[in-house]
A and B are shown apart, each in its own frame.
Chain A
Amino acid sequence: MNRYETVFILTPVLSEEQAKEAVKVYEDYITKNGGTIKHKEFWGLKKLAYQIQKKSTGFYSLVEFENDGTLIKKLEIEFKRDERIMRFLSIRMDKHHVAFAEKTRKAGTNTAKTEEKAEA
């Protein structure tokens, strides 16, 4: 079993409720297709660094899940088919990434920053 992390950006045309609904659809999709969700975050409406599809904002969402690797391809096809999704990125997490994610969640802040501050 591998741990994966998916971040996707939904169009700002949707309302916040609609965006959350869309996120829910994908979470259900993951669980139905043999993935187990470990963590999820909804970042809300954020400003983009550059325009995508002539939009300057977007709803960011992050889902962390475990699967044997068959799910990613299917999930990305679903993302491509969906007009509500502007951008997505799925990556396999290595052991350092998993440790980092769990540590940050516990601390509630970004540890890369705090670790460096402690040294300086």
Chain B
Amino acid sequence: MAQNDIRYLTPINIEIKKDKYCRFKKSGIKYVDYKNPEFLLKFINEQGKILPRRVTGTSQKYQKKVNKAVKRARHLAILPYVADLMK
């Protein structure tokens, strides 16, 4: 019998948590361009919805700017309001 085996009451968390960071702060981007759909595509999901900052890790200051840029792009038909599998 393996009596020396360590037993845990709760399973240990093996998942390695990836550190989230704000990509704007890290790379020093001050302005979010609404005319660049490829860049904005990183902040929306496949349906064209804006991702929350708890997912992307963007800081609040820049999340506001991202929101504004996405909404401007939508108004100018650069990004769709609704979509299926747009990525």
Asked if A99 and B75 make an inter-chain contact with CB atoms under 8 angstroms apart, the answer reads no
| Nearest-Cβ distance from residue B47 to partner chain A, whole angstroms | 13
Instruction: Write the nearest CB–CB distance from B61 to chain A, whole angstroms.
Output: 12
A87 at the interface (CB under 8 A from B): yes
Determine the interface band of chain A, counting residues with CB < 8 A from chain B: 20 to 34
B72 touches A87 (CB 8 A): no
Which residues of A have CB within 8 Å of B29?
112, 115-116
Task: Choose among A52, A96, A116 the residue that contacts B30 (Cβ–Cβ < 8 A).
Answer: A96
CB A11 to nearest CB in B, in angstroms, measures: 13
Q: How many residues of B contact A (CB 8 A)?
A: 23
Residue of chain B at shortest CB distance from A7: B76
A-contact bits for B24-37, CB 8 A (1 contact / 0 none) = 00111111110110
Total A-B Cβ pairs within 8 A: 55
A100 B23 Cβ-Cβ under 8 A: no
Q: Please give the distance in Å from B65's CB to the nearest CB on chain A.
A: 9
Is B77 a contact of A113 with CB atoms below 8 Å?
no
Q: Which residues of B contact A (CB under 8 A)?
A: 23, 26-33, 35-36, 38-39, 72, 74-81, 83
Minimum-distance CB pairs A-B, first 5: A48-B77, A96-B30, A119-B27, A49-B80, A96-B31
11 additional A-B residue pairs with CB within 8 Å, beyond A49-B74, A87-B75, A119-B27: A9-B77, A49-B77, A49-B79, A50-B77, A50-B80, A52-B77, A60-B76, A110-B39, A112-B36, A112-B39, A115-B28
